Each structure stands twice: as C-alpha cells, then as structure tokens.
Structure 1
Amino acid sequence: MSPYRPRPCLPLPPKPIWCGTERRATGKELEMKRFICAAVLAACVIGPSALAQSAINTVVAVANPRHYEGRCPASIAFVATISVNQPTKVSYRWERSDGATGRVETAVIRGRGHGVTTTWTLSRRRGETFKGAQTLHLLSPGNLRSNPAEFTLVCR
C-alpha cells in the first residue's frame, strides 16, 4: 500500500441529522428535526389549495336592487367583488338559493376590487313576495364562498 492518500477537492458535507447517524442529536439539532417534521406535516395537511387560497383577501357579493317592488318579470343584478394580494387566476360560478348554478367561468384578478356579475330574471304572481339570494362560489384556488347576496321581489 502506498502511503499517499488523495484528498477530495471539496470537503464532504456532514451527514444530515435525520438520516440515522450514530451519534445522538444535540439540543439544537433535535429542535431543528422537530421543526422540519412539523413543517412537512403541516404542508401535507394544509395542502396546496390552502396556500393558493391565501392569495384571496375578500369576496363580497351584493344584489341590486336589494328590494324590488313593481312590474314583473324583473331582473336582479349581482356583483361580487374579489380582492387579492397577488395576480390570481380564479374559477367560479354563481349559486342561487333555488338550487340552480351558473356555468363555471374564469378570470384573472389583479389587486383590489375586481367585480364579477350575473343577473337573475324572475316573475311571480301579482302581490306575491319572493326572497332569494345568490352566492359566488370560488372553485379555485381553494374553495371559498361569498356571503349570500339577498334580495326581495314583490310583483305588482
């Protein structure tokens, strides 16, 4: 055997503390182990949808008019304002209180106050009162719903 032993060009990195090293982890290493395990577990439990969902600040819906009394059929307009903290592509649909749902639509929201709209045209018998609402359901990112935008209709 030759007494010459080649040296590596770069020092070898230490073994990671979570890969079955022979020595026991020190206090700081143990703390880091726990932190890494907690972070990995949180990422698995929370999932990517909740992380993407955090880009959305608010979703608020309103009906206009909130109270209608007059000739029918009448159209009620709905506007949902979506605010985000970074440009976000959203998929959404409107859901009515009678169970009907609109088609899935997409929009890229940039900043505060981006509005999405729909209308609901309905009629009732003369003198009949109808109370209804529409909710904006954000399908992605995440799974969020606005407040119900309530209205009252009285046909004359």
Structure 2
Amino acid sequence: MFRIMVNKIWAGFNSCPLFLEKKMKNILIILIFSLGIRAETLININLSANPSNYKGICPVTVNFEGEISVSKKCKLQYRFLRSDGKVMPVEVLDFSKKLVNNVKMQWTTQNDLDGWVSIEILSPVSMKYKKVPFSVKCLGIVGPKVMPDLIVKFQGPSSAYQSENLSGKYKLLVSNIGDLEAKNFYLDIVLYGWAGRESAPSKEHICGRGFISSSNPGEDVQPAGLMPSIPPDLPPGEYDICAFVDSTDLIKESKEDNNKSCHSIKILEKK
C-alpha cells in the first residue's frame, strides 16, 4: 500500500515544471528515508512494581524494575512518568553493545497511595508504555529506623591559592543510602583550621554552599548553585577541606556522623 501511494505521488510530480519536480522529489526521498529509519527501530518495554499491593508499616519503598529492548543498535532517551506528576530526569541508554538494558526506579511513600508509573521514550522514537499500577495501604505505624541517610564523596585539589575559584577542580557526589527521601537541604564546602599567627577568629571557613531539592533512596545527586572559592584573607598554610552534606542540619537521619568527606589542602599566598 505504501509503495503504491509513493508511486502515484512520484508519477504526479512528472507533470510539474522541471525545477519544482526535482525539489518535490528530493523532499519525498527524505520523507521516505526518515519513515524507513523510524519503522526499523522496534522497542519493547517490560516494567513491574514490587510490591504492587502493599499493606503494612510505612514509609515503604515500591521498586519498579524492568527492561527495554530494541531491534537495532542506537542510543535511547527515556524517563519515568509518575501519577503524582513529579518530573523525573531524562536518562540515556546505550544499545551499541547489547540490545537489552535494565531500568529501575524507586518511589517511597509514608501515606496511603494508589498510583502508577510508566516509561516515556523520547528518542529515537516517541512512545509511552502502559501505566503500571500499585497500591499502598499504611497501617499507621512508622518504623523508627526508616529514615534518610545522606553521605558525600569528595575529592578536591591538594593545594590552592587565596581567592582561587575551585569550580571544576573537585569531584563530588551526594548519595542517600537510607530508606526515605530527603528534601530541601544544603551542602557546604568548608575549610577547617587556622594557620595565622594571631588568634583565630574562626577555625571554620565556608568556601561555598549548594542546594539539593530532593534525594531519593539509592539516588546520587549534585548540588545546585555550588561555586566554591578560597577566602581571600585566609592565612597560607595547612588546612582540611571538606564537603559537608546537610550542613544546616535540616534532615533527621538514621546516622548523623557520616555527612562529611575531608582531606588536607595547602593554601598558598596569592601571587
């Protein structure tokens, strides 16, 4: 049917002026080629909720796991859709080595909830998977150990000058290894110590602060707005530089003594 339609359109172009005939045929060739590529990319999605029907102590985490398979090598962009409308980040899967990849997401709730999760494919084609429903019925008892637990991995420079901007000169990753989402908290880059001859006005020197709006269990995140720099009037010498997550103590965690990652740094006099 598609071939017959193309042949009829192609034949119709023969009655057009020569310059218009060539232009329209080129457009048709591009259209046919694009449709051919689109038709060749077959995508299959499987997704399930565990538990799908929960009754018991809350908060509870519902795990969504599945796989996406494709018919040919490609890079695929997708994101999870949630019934509460929360915007989930776009993820990229590389199918250059294998045609099947696993996907997973977690949803933690401390309230009764009848919801669903789906997957939206953004490229190389646009499609949405069926909604996977789940149900949570809380019995009103909150487990005492079900809390967030924030940790940070940090590696900064071994030396830096007074006033030096540290952006792009460190590696940092915040993780929630607890069982409950943490929302709206801060991360500081801090220097500890004092190398001056006079009495220390403070042994804690904040280099920069970033904000994290949400960190789900098992999720790695980066703070927004973090642009640390060395204080210009800090005396040169040896210090400790630390990344301090939940620095303002807004989040009640199952462990409060694992929020820092530190190493030594030498502060040099600005040239």
Following superposition, which runs of at least 4 residues in structure 1 exceed 6 angstroms of deviation? 35-39
Unaligned 5+ runs, structure 2: 1-6, 14-23, 140-271
Structure 2 CA distance, aligned partners of 1:84 and 1:35? 37
Determine the structure 1 residue equivalent to 2:64.
Answer: 78
Say whether residues 1:55 and 2:41 are aligned partners: yes
Q: How does 1:2-151 map to 2 (within 5 A)?
A: 33-34=10-11, 41=28, 44=31, 48=34, 51-52=37-38, 54-109=40-95, 110-112=98-100, 114-124=101-111, 129-151=112-134
Residue 102 of structure 1: SS of its match in structure 2? coil
Q: CA deviation at 1:95?
A: 1.0
| 1:98 to 1:47, Cα distance in 2 relative to 1, 3 A | farther
Query: C-alpha offsets along residues 53-108 of structure 1, whole Å, 9 cap, x if unaligned?
Result: 64233112211111111111111111232111112211111110011121111111
Aligned residue among 130, 137, 141 for 1:154: 137
Residue 51 of structure 1: SS of its match in structure 2? helix
- Aligned residue type for 2:131: P
- Aligned residue type for 1:115: N
Q: CA deviation at 1:123?
A: 1.2
- Aligned residue type for 2:11: R
| 1:70 to 1:106, Cα distance in 2 relative to 1, 3 A | same
Unaligned 5+ runs, structure 1: 1-29
Determine the structure 2 residue equivalent to 1:21.
Answer: none
| 1:115 to 1:34, Cα distance in 2 relative to 1, 3 A | farther
Percent identity of paired positions between Structure 1 and Structure 2? 26
Structure 2 CA distance, aligned partners of 1:75 and 1:50? 42
Q: TM-score, normalised by structure 1?
A: 0.64
| 1:102 to 1:43, Cα distance in 2 relative to 1, 3 A | same
Structure 1 CA distance, aligned partners of 2:47 and 2:26? 35
| 1:56 to 1:71, Cα distance in 2 relative to 1, 3 A | same
Structure 1 CA distance, aligned partners of 2:35 and 2:77? 13
Residue 58 of structure 2: SS of its match in structure 1? coil
Determine the structure 2 residue equivalent to 1:10.
Answer: none
- Aligned residue type for 1:117: K
Which of the pair is proportionally richer in strand? 2
Residue 71 of structure 1: SS of its match in structure 2? strand
Structure 1 CA distance, aligned partners of 2:80 and 2:103? 10
What is the count of residue pairs matched by the alignment?
121
- Aligned residue type for 1:134: V
| 1:151 to 1:49, Cα distance in 2 relative to 1, 3 A | farther
Residue 37 of structure 2: SS of its match in structure 1? helix
- Aligned residue type for 2:120: H
